[in-house]
Amino acid sequence: MSSTATQKSLFESLHRQYQPAVLQMCLGFMKGDRDLAKDLTQEVFINIWNALPGFRGASSYKTWIYRITVNTCLLHIRNNKTKSTVPLLDVPHPVSSGTDDKEEEDYRELYLAIGKLSELDRLIIMMVLEELEYDEISSIVGINPVNLRVKIHRIKKRLREFIEKEQAHG
C-alpha cells in the first residue's frame, strides 16, 4: 500500500474515532454555537490531515489531536476577537417542554457558563467533560498534575456559581 493510501486509511480511522470528541471541544470553545463548532471541527481535521505526515509518535494520537483542536480553537478566538458577534444570551429562544428540550437547555447553560471561563480553564474543563485522564490533560496543557487537580476543582466551583447565578436571575 502506498504511503498516501496508508495516510488516508489512518486519517479516516482517526476521524471516525475522534470526530465526536473534537466537535464537543469545539462546542465548548464556541460557547455552544453548533454551526461554528462544526466548521471548526472540519478545520481541525484539515489541520490533522496536513500534519499527519509529520506525526512522530512523541505522544498518543489522542493527545496530539486534542492539542491541534485546542490550537485551532484558540487561533479562531484570537483572530475573531475584534469581529462583532451577538452573544448567545441575546438570541431569543422559545420556551418549550419535554425532556430533550430540558437537556438541551441544561447543555446551553453549561456552555454559556463555560464560555465565561478563561481560554485555559475552558480548555481544561472541556477535556474533563471528554473524560480524558488527568495525566493526559496535564501533558496537553503543560500543568503539573497536582496543580491541575486543584485548578479543575476551582473551575467546577466557578461553573456551579455561574449556573446558580444564571438560574437565580432566569
Q: Which three cell numbers stand for residue 161?
A: 456559581
Helix (H, G, I), strand (E, B) or coil at 90: helix
What is the number of residues in the chain? Answer: 170
Q: How many helices (H) and strands (E) does the chain have?
A: 7, 0
Domain positions in the chain are 3-169
The secondary element (H helix, E strand) that includes residue 63 is helix 61-79
* Most confident residue range from 28-32, 43-47, 77-81, 133-137: 43-47
pLDDT band at 133 (very low <50, low <70, confident <90, very high): confident
What pLDDT is stored for residue 106 in this prediction? 67
pTM over 0.75: no
Spell out the long-range contacts of 131-134 with Cβ–Cβ below 8 A and sequence spacing 24 or more: 132/62, 132/66
Q: Which amino acid is at 93?
A: H
Q: In whole angstroms, give the CA distance from residue 159 to residue 112.
A: 10
What pLDDT is stored for residue 126 in this prediction? 81
